[in-house]
Amino acid sequence: MDLMRRDIAICTRLLVDVDILEYSGHISSRLPSGDEFLIQPVDDVRSNLEPSRLLVVGLDGCVIQGEGKPPSETAIHAEIYKARPDVKAVAHFHHDPTTMFSMVVDRPLLPMKNHAARWPDGVPIHPDASHISSIEQGQELARTMGDCNAVLLRGHGEVVVAENIKALFADIVHFVENAKALADAGLLGEIVPLTREDLEGFEATFDRDKHARKLWSYYTVTAANKGVIPLEWLDD
């Protein structure tokens, strides 16, 4: 089986299983050619996504290979891939406890836990609350995100980007953990975000690839035991 296709299907099913994805949202991965990516058809049920169903889509948002229409917000993926050559995997989802941070004043989504080192200066908020359905809207979103590895869409959802699907999955888990930690800590008292110095100290001793593989192993084996993914999809 094509491992990139398998990993997108696994990542999508896992995110449903942990209540981050539901009936909408999507994961994509850039193909080695650089100007094409894999993404699911708009109406395929996320919890049952099959690797063979993934569409090959160009950076113009048009389907090159596969059956079905791409998601209505495919411009999010296409325009981020155009703007950020370093990005190889993109997730868009609508996780309400995280999206809350686009709905309040004076409470930016700052790094509270050490794995938030991926977003050391916090996470920008994109002001356009409508669906990102045009190329122009996708370009605006990519501009708001800039060099950050995530962006909040005001009153809508979030986007997280990474260098591959396994790293993307780990980043999403930590992204929502950090948002929850910030919300909970704010109930206890005045928050104390981690500083750049704190986060640089963490990263100096952190093996990102090893950590991503560890999370992937834990979540995939647990999911396979529950029947969320087939046992034969597990890494050897």
Residues near Zn ion (CB under 5 A), total: 1
Residues 129-158 that bind Zn ion (CB under 5 A): 157
Q: How far is CA 153 from CA 7, 94, 128, 157, 194, in A?
A: 26, 9, 7, 5, 23
- Measured from the CB atom, the residue of 145 and 199 that comes closer to Zn ion is 145
CB of 197 to Zn ion, least distance (A): 35
- Measured from the CB atom, the residue of 40 and 220 that comes closer to Zn ion is 40
**Which residue's beta carbon is nearest to the bound Zn ion?**
157
- Measured from the CB atom, the residue of 114 and 133 that comes closer to Zn ion is 133
Residues 155-214 that bind Zn ion (CB under 5 A): 157
> Which DSSP string corresponds to 151-214?
EEETTTEEEEEESSHHHHHHHHHHHHHHHHHHHHHHHHSS--PPPHHHHHHHHHT--HHHHHHH
CB of 126 to Zn ion, least distance (A): 11
CB of 60 to Zn ion, least distance (A): 20
- Measured from the CB atom, the residue of 101 and 216 that comes closer to Zn ion is 101
CB of 94 to Zn ion, least distance (A): 6
Q: CB–CB of 6/236 below 8 Å?
A: no
- Measured from the CB atom, the residue of 120 and 157 that comes closer to Zn ion is 157
CB of 43 to Zn ion, least distance (A): 15
71 binds Zn ion (CB under 5 A): no
- Measured from the CB atom, the residue of 153 and 170 that comes closer to Zn ion is 153
Residues 6+ apart with CB under 8 A from 17: 47, 223, 226, 228
CB of 157 to Zn ion, least distance (A): 5
Interacting residues with Zn ion (CB under 5 A): 157
